[in-house]
Every structure is written in C-alpha cells, then in structure tokens.
Amino acid sequence: MGPGARTADDDVLDAVVTGTCDDPFSILGRHRVVVDGRPALLVRTMQPAASEVQLVTPGRVYGMQRRRPEGLFQATVPFDGGAPESFAYRFRIREGTATRDAVDPYQFNQILSDFDLHLFAEGTHYRVWERFGAHRMTIDGVTGVHFAVWAPNAQRVSVIGDFNRWDGRVHPMRRLVPSGVWEIFVPELRDGDCYKFEVRTAAGHLRQKADPYARHFEVPPKTASAIWSDTGYEWHDDEWVRDRPSREGWRERPMAAYEVHLGSWRRVVEDGHRFQTYREMAATLVPYVREMGFTHIELMPIMEHPFGGSWGYQVIGFFAPTSRFGTPDDFKFFVDECHRNDIGVILDWVPGHFPKDEHGLAEFDGTALYEHADPRKGEHQDWGTLIFNYSRNEVRSFLFSNALFWLEEFHLDGLRVDAVASMLYLDYSRPEGAWLPNEFGGRENLEAVSFLQQLNVLTHGRLPGTITVAEESTSWPGVSRPVHAGGLGFSFKWNMGWMHDMLEYVEEDPVHRRWHHGQITFSLLYAFSENFVLPFSHDEVVYGKRSMLAKMPGDPWQQHATLRTLYGYMYSHPGKKLMFMGSEFGQWNEWNVDTSLDWHLLAEPLHEAQRRWVRDLNHLYRQEPALHQVDFEPAGFSWIDCHDADNSVVSMVRRARDPGEFLVIIANFTPVPRLGYKVGVPEEGWYRELLNSDSEIYGGSNVGNGGGAQASAVAVKDFKYSLSLTLPPLGVVVFKKGSGL
C-alpha cells in the first residue's frame, strides 16, 4: 500500500465525522487493541466544538489526538488485558475558555431488554411509554437520560439538543437489530433540556423529529421535545381511584359532561389575554363545574399540538400534556382537584389520524412508518392528515400504551375516541376509486375494528370503572355492545342522530313545528340500541352553524325560552348528557378558539337565568334516579303522548329501578300557553311541580301550576288517571308524585 493510501479505518472514521456511521458503538468509546504486541485500549470521542480533549483516568491524564479536523479525538492507553468495562475514565473537554468533564455515553451496554423489544414488535407492549422516549436513570452510579426511538428504516439516528449544539454527529444511537429500535444513554443531562431525534434516511436526507414518546415539549409554536423526569407527584384522590372499580355500574349513574377547551374557557384578560395555567383552572374551572352540577369535565385534546387552530385534534406529542398551560405535574394537580371535588375527567383521544408536520410522525424514518404508504388508505384528504396503520404491531403498541398512559399516569376516568367513523370505513369521505377495499372486497377497515375492540377490552379490563365513548356518526351496529357479543366494546356512543334531529326541529319557526313532530319522537325508536350520550358539542357552534342560542328562532325572550325547553327535553330523554362550554349561559357568538367565552353576558338577567336553569337541571338530574338510572332499557321510559303534533307537545314518564320512583315530564314547543291540558299519569295522588323552565327565576313568564296538581280518576289514553295542567309557553315542566300542599 503506497503512501497516502486510504485504509478501512479511514473510511470508518470518515463515516463518524460525516454522520453516516450506522454502528457508532463499534467506533466510539473504548475498544481493545494490540499495540507493539501489548494489550491496550483505544478510546474515541466526537467533540466538534472542542479545541482540546483529555482522557482522565484514576491514575493518569492522557492527551487525546485529534484524528479529524471535524472533532474526532482518540487516545491509546496501556491496559492489562482485563474486561474493557473495568476501565474507568471520563473526558476533560476544552471549548473556548471553558473546560468541562463528561462521562462517555459509548461506555454503556444495551439497556432495553430483548423482552421489551419482543413485546413491542408483537403489538402487546402496553406500557411502552416506560421504556421508549427519554427517561432519567442511574447506571453504574452515573445519572443520565436514556433515549429510545423506533426508526427501522433509518440509516442513522442521533439524539440532538441543547446539550450537543444540535449536532447529529455527537450522539449517534445504537441500532438494536432486528427490532429497528435505536437507543443511547447520555449522562448528566438536565430536566428542561430540549431535544429531537435527527434521522438520516436510507436516501441520505436528514430529518429532525420530535420524540413520539416525549413527556414534555417546548411551549408552541416551538416544536422540540423536552426532558421531563417523573417527580413522583403526590396524589390526593386515593378514595376516588379506590372506589372507581365500583363505578362499573356507570350505566346507572348520572353523567352530565361539561365539554371544555382549556385555552378558551376563560383567559386572563388583565394579563395580556394569556391562558390560565392548569393550576389556575383547578381554582376557577373546577369550582364552577361543581357549582353547576356537572358530573364530568370532558377535555378537548390537551396532548401537545403545535397548531392551536386544530383545537388539539392534530397531535404531535401523544404522551405529553400541552405545555401551554404548564407541566405534567400541573395537569395532574388539575385532575386531582377534579376528583377531590367529585368530578370525573374524560379526555378526547385521537387515534384516528395525525398531522403531516415535518417534526411529527409523518414518514418518521423516511418511510411510511406510522401511516399507510398508499394515500388511498393512509391519508384523509379532507383534513390533510395521515391515518395510522392499525395492522402494524409496533403502531398498535404505541396506541394501546398511549390510551393506558392517560388513564394510569393521570388518573383520567375515560377516553372519548374522536372520529370513530373515519376509522371504521375505508371509503370514509372518499369518492369512488379513491379507496382500497378490504381482503373480502368490503368497505370496513377490519384492522381498525380489531384495534378498537382490543382497545376497549384493555382499558375496561385493566382499569375497571373507566369508560370509553365513541364519537361515531353512522349506524355501525353494536358500537357500545361487548366485544364477546360482536360489538366494538365502547361504554357509550354519541347519539348524533338525536342531536341533528333536535337542532333541525327547534330551528323551525314554532308555527311550522307541527309538520316536523317526528323529529323529536323518532329517536325513541332506536334509543336503546346503544348506550347513548346526547351531545351538544363544540362541533355544533362553529363554522357558521351559530351558537346554540342564536340557532333558536324568534325574539331574544323566545330564543332563551326555546333553549331552556330544548335542554329540559335533553335531560328528560334517555341517555347521558354532554354540553359544550358557553352553551349553558346562552352565548350569542360562535365559539372562538382564540379568545374567552363571553362571560360578560352573565351580567344580563336572561343569560344568568339560563345558567341557573342548566345548574338546576343538573342537580335535579343527579338527585332523581328516574332521570339517569335506567337510561338504556325500555323499562326506564314510556310515552304518555307522543302524537300531539297539533300542539307540538310531548309528554313522558321516566322510571327508576324502583317502579314506584317515576317522573312525569311535559314539553311545549310553541309559545302558546295550554290551559287545562290533560296528561295521563300512572297513579292517583298529588304531583309536585319540581321544575318549570318558565319560572321567573329562569327568565320565564311564570306560567305554571301553583306548585303541583292533583291526579283525578279521569282516563286519558292508556292511563286511568290524569292531570289537568297549565303548560307554559315554550316550556318544560317536571312532576313527581308526592304529598299535597
């Protein structure tokens, strides 16, 4: 070999300094060599910012030779031939005028176990968040952070961050074959240090990716992950969590959820219109919800998302509460306060799709890794997002563990799964020819069906008492039926049909409602086919649909009265309840994600009265078993009269498990008072008027029945007894059999 000829060693070193080496642990760190026939150790380190590096051992300090101008240093030291792992050393690095000591990351062996990698590849690692991502640990007396990420088709992966000047040549990771997982243990990192993974694709392109398992992020619009150590938050909801398995009877419990977008519920106007923190909302939102009588807070997604205009539904950090409002411990404090105030917490969860942001999951290692490669199956054209590949085991491990993560780590009481219909149907919102049929030629996404079934078996089995709720807008059968019976296994399903029918009905002028009477009665033909939630959600008050109050026809008084009647009917109808923030006090404006609700409206009597009506509805709903105990069986409901279209009146009986516990409810959807209106009732006796939406305390005209009415032995329709009532205009009245005045 002639002078200046390149050696294999030169090629390897060049690969290190150019960031193309796919096996850095074979080059960097300590390695046994023989020099002049004697055993020695060769130690290498990549320090691009260093002007000088020394190798510090217990007995001597060695100067390290700069082998490449890009910052590759090495030293050869005598060694007695023992195990290289017994050789203790550190680096003393001079950068400008500063000198620091550092422990070499390349002296540590593989950390992830083969069993972890096996479970992950099998799709059954349900606690993978404890292994992947960034985790503080101590190895051989050295404290640092272990990083692990899945990128099987990458040529090289490095962790980059504040601690290495974002230089991918400094900390290239170890490839664990054949799992496609990369890992490295970096000593002496600090909480709050920002980082990403630099992925070199097989085509040689560099991508900077946020950590899919990161527990914390920079505050958006910045996009880096941040090191976060579990501080061992001290929970105070032991009684709540201990009693939660007994809540397996949630079908018979009251559930009235207040849907909240934390960033726009109530901002701090006097401080630059900033967000409230999680801890501030624990002191403001939680008492408000308790006073209003809601049983649950349902949070729109609080997983980290760079674009606020997505409302949280385009998630980047699936394992991180958004840093907009504070730290993970701050969010735990918020949940803790909810539980201490007897309020459950449900989180909107988004396993149906993810955004195309360059730093996110999209083409994570240069290939379609989390998504399908074919856009006919892997992309939502309408939303500009990508669809998870539910047939890939590693993706299933990611999503299953993510669901359990929120329920376990943050003590959440349930997950509302977003856009389930888009997961179930391969042709969802796709024209002919733009979708791929399943193996049997059908439109059902069989992998997604299997995923959802396993999700529900997992969450219900491992965390008894927690719930799952499907936002599913089609007639897919058995959404809330058990998996063993062929269903999807959800606890509840949103009743989108009821919601659309009711809103179309009340938006009609009252004089025309008689011709649309079937819209308020049709839902009882299928009310017990699923475990339904009746939702008036954020989707109904955006994009020109108008606020709930603004949908109502007539003058402001009639609008408020109609909204009260609608809510009264909602709370009388079988099914659990959900109401979006601001709808409880009759906000005029559509919801705006970039500002607060219009809280100033509560200074106006009609809006404060509207809020009081919802509060009292909630408290009555919780107090009366007849309104919540038998929601999903015909035994809990019967019509008194559903045919009075001419008067636009419906009347019904709601029953508890105890057949003697029942309520009589009548709703008048016209502005005309009905005097001497005959209503059949199950039993003779005095019926107290428990609630009247037309009471003056709710902004009404105070038309009512003087506190109650006596049932007489006058048969009406199928009932032997009846009440003669005054029905208030655009009003709901609720009666309960009890003692006379």
Catalytic residue positions, numbered: 418, 471
Backbone angles phi, psi at 373, to 5 degrees: -70, -35
Separation between Cα atoms, residue 444 and residue 427, nearest integer Å: 8
Structure tokens at 235: 């929970």
Question: Contact at 8 Å (CB) between 231 and 269?
Answer: no
User: How far is it, in rounded angstroms, from Cα 544 to Cα 537?
Assistant: 15
> CA–CA distance from 217 to each of 296, 426, 494 (Å)?
27, 33, 32
Q: Kind and range of the H or E element at 605?
A: helix 605-623
User: What phi and psi values does residue 740 have, to the nearest 5 degrees?
Assistant: -75, 175
Residue (of 697, 535, 673, 562) closest to 616 by Cα position: 697
Q: Which residues contact 604 (CB under 8 A, 6 or more apart)?
A: none
DSSP label at 712? Answer: B
Cβ pair 413, 344 in contact under 8 A: yes
CA nearest neighbour of 562 among 498, 618, 506, 508? 506
The answer to whether residues 417 and 490 touch, using CB atoms and an 8 Å cutoff, is yes
Structure tokens given for 120: 């992950």
**Rg of the chain taking only CA atoms, in angstroms:** 32
- List the structure tokens of 635: 């035994």
User: Cα–Cα distance between 94 and 68 in angstroms, integer?
Assistant: 16
The gap from C-alpha 384 to its chain's centroid, in whole angstroms, comes to 20
Strands (E), 669-720: 674-681, 685-692, 708-711
End-to-end CA distance of the chain: 113
The SS3 assignment for 258 reads strand
Token pair for 71: 């910052």
DSSP string, 35-58: ETTEEEEEEEEE-TT-SEEEEE-S
What is the rounded CA–CA span in Å between residue 547 and residue 360? 34
The CA dihedral of 298, 299, 303, 308, to the nearest 10 degrees, is 150
Instruction: Give the DSSP H/E element, type plus range, for residue 550.
Output: helix 548-551
Residue 362 contacts residue 355 (beta carbons within 8 Å):
yes
Asked if 297 and 287 count as a contact pair (C-beta separation under 8 A), the reply is no
